[in-house]
A and B are shown apart, each in its own frame.
Chain A
């Protein structure tokens, strides 16, 4: 089953390095060029799902300013799933770009 956008972006964030909730939030915002801002409720719902599915796991827990902070990391199945998903999305994007170029629907001929 294809990953939903938020899960894809979270896995991609963790592919760079293990990080905490806020780190994931910022990375997702950056990756998507500011288009996706994960709200905390959504972020933690997806994190819980991904942990349940074995795609990510808790890397470490630290106490920062007397507050618990949990770092997550990508698991091997998570990395495989992310690779599959990236291929699928790349193929879909290529198809869309090719069709747009040949159809001439984009009058300005923007980079596809």
Chain B
């Protein structure tokens, strides 16, 4: 029978590369269970941190093929890339649906991320990577143009560009595994649903990127909109 503590130790051990886990995982589990106190239900925080540290160090140092980086990072990127794309697409789409926009930039950006998402989820790794860099360009060009005349909203909207850069880099470095294979189907569904639900409830700050829209002008709570309310 598997106790909760044992299950938690096993989950913790997944931070190690598969090869190390195969060689030492079971024996390590035996040792940790022997070391556990009576009635202990959770790994000690210090032990958990120690395992995460060593596991990540092994993943960083050992290259196990697939993608530009080692196995662990290739997997991480295979998950982070699509998640970042879904997040960007969702917030861009929400922005477009919310109200009229000056210029075509948000529409273009929404379309670009939609294309990237389609490519990424279809498993077209190289296509998704190339489109990711194109979408990054679409994301970065407007603020760069705007910066000389009106830098404040650009600075507040900087997270768009940063996230877009993360997406492009992750898609490029992603390994061959599918994101739902990396995270597990259920966990992946939750991760995908998170940005869409927060976009619907407006808990993030999509209005910041287009401060000229009426939607953001209405939101008094957002500091990034404040300079525009004159």
Contacts and interface: CB of A to CB of B under 8 A. Distances in A.
Same assembly: yes
Interface of A: 20-22, 25, 39-45, 47-48, 64, 67-70
Given A21-B27, A39-B46, A67-B30, 5 more contacts: A20-B31, A40-B31, A45-B54, A67-B26, A68-B30
Chain A contact surface mostly: helix
B35 interface: yes
Contacts of A44: 24, 27-28, 31, 54
B29 interface: yes
Contacts of B20: 48
A45 to B, nearest CB: 5
B30 A40 contact: no
A5 B50 CA distance: 17
A26 B78 CA distance: 41
Contact of A41 (B26, B34, B53): B53
Interface band, chain B: 20 to 34
Nearest to B57: A45
Contact of B30 (A39, A48, A69): A69
B206 interface: no
B35 A69 contact: no
Interface centre among A41, A43, A70 (most CB of B within 10 A): A41
Given A22-B35, A25-B35, A67-B33, A41 B27 contact: no
A64 B30 contact: yes
Given A48-B20, A48-B24, A70-B27, A42 B54 contact: yes
Given A48-B20, A48-B24, A68-B26, A41 B47 contact: yes
Contacts of B53: 41
A22 B47 contact: no
Interface in B20-46: 20, 23-24, 26-35, 46
B51 interface: yes
A41 to B, nearest CB: 4
A67 B33 CA distance: 10
A41 B46 CA distance: 10
10 contacts: A21-B28, A22-B30, A22-B31, A39-B51, A41-B50, A42-B50, A44-B24, A44-B54, A68-B27, A70-B27
Contacts of A43: 31
A107 B54 CA distance: 43
Nearest to B48: A41
Nearest to A38: B50
B175 interface: no
